[in-house]
Amino acid sequence: MAIDFRPYLKKHSKSGNKISLIYKRVTNADSEFINCDALEIKDGVIDGFSINGGQNKEADISLEVFIFNFKTFMKLIKKSREISTLFNIRDLVRHIVANKMFAINAYPFDGLVIPILTFQNFVKYSTDLLNYDIRKQLFKEGWPIYTTTHNTPPATYGENAHVSNSFIANGCIIKGTVINSVISRDVIVEEGAIVKDCVLYSGTQVGKGANLQYVLSDKKVTIKEIIDVAGEKDDFIYISRGAHI
């Protein structure tokens, strides 16, 4: 998700309450956001928490994004040690609501939220970002998402390379075919190789003539000996880090 916090900070300050939480109203709670906090909200204030077990399609799901007044936050951190040394911020907020210590504002977020909670989630939402209509909701113009940069050369494409609807990171050498795939840094796809509907982590090498579909490879995987490696659309094959196939 990409959140502009400024309007939430204004609402929080205006409310006079000491804590606020941002949530998302979802219509797929029966299949996604499992084990996330579902909220009971009354008059814009959190009235209770429960764990989403998928019983209902619609739910107000906590994004675990909190706004605290500074002095309140410092007091609560000290207080949490008295309650449990294992408490995290999520546990602390649940404790506050359960014991009615403070009123906590609940503010809805209307933008894209992608739950990465399972291996299947990761694969699905990684490849979903190849769809421009989905991608533009996360990567907004004028609202950059910063990440670590690496001093590596741009991707290099061979004379017979064919690439369509794919992310190709810097440092890659693409001599074969890449379709509908997410390719991380320093991946090599040799001439004659076909990579389709895949997610390949950095340092993966795909040898000549190899044919991959519905595969997620971890870092520094080498695929040369087994020519055909294929999973299914809803059941990707995972290749562990450093494996030689």
3-state secondary structure of 15: helix
Task: Please name each of the domains of the chain with its CATH number.
Answer: 6-115 (3.90.550.10), 116-245 (2.160.10)
pLDDT band at 82 (very low <50, low <70, confident <90, very high): confident
DSSP assignment of 47-107: EEEEE--S--S-EEEEEEEEEE-HHHHHHHHHHHHHH-TT--HHHHHHHHHHTT-S-EEEE
The predicted structure's pLDDT at residue 145: 79
Q: pLDDT by residue (tens digit) across 35-60? A: 999 999 999 999 999 999 999 999 99
Q: Which amino acid is at 240?
A: S
Task: Inform me whether the pLDDT recorded for 236 exceeds 90.
Answer: yes
The answer to whether residue 70 scores a pLDDT higher than 90 is yes
Q: Return d(Cα 149, Cα 163) in angstroms, integer.
A: 24
pTM: 0.81
**Residue 16 φ then ψ, to 5°:** 85, -10
41 strand-pairing partners: 46
Confidence of residue 137 (pLDDT cuts 50, 70, 90): confident
- Mean pLDDT across 225-241: 92
Runs of H (alpha helix) within 89-180: 89-98, 119-128, 132-138
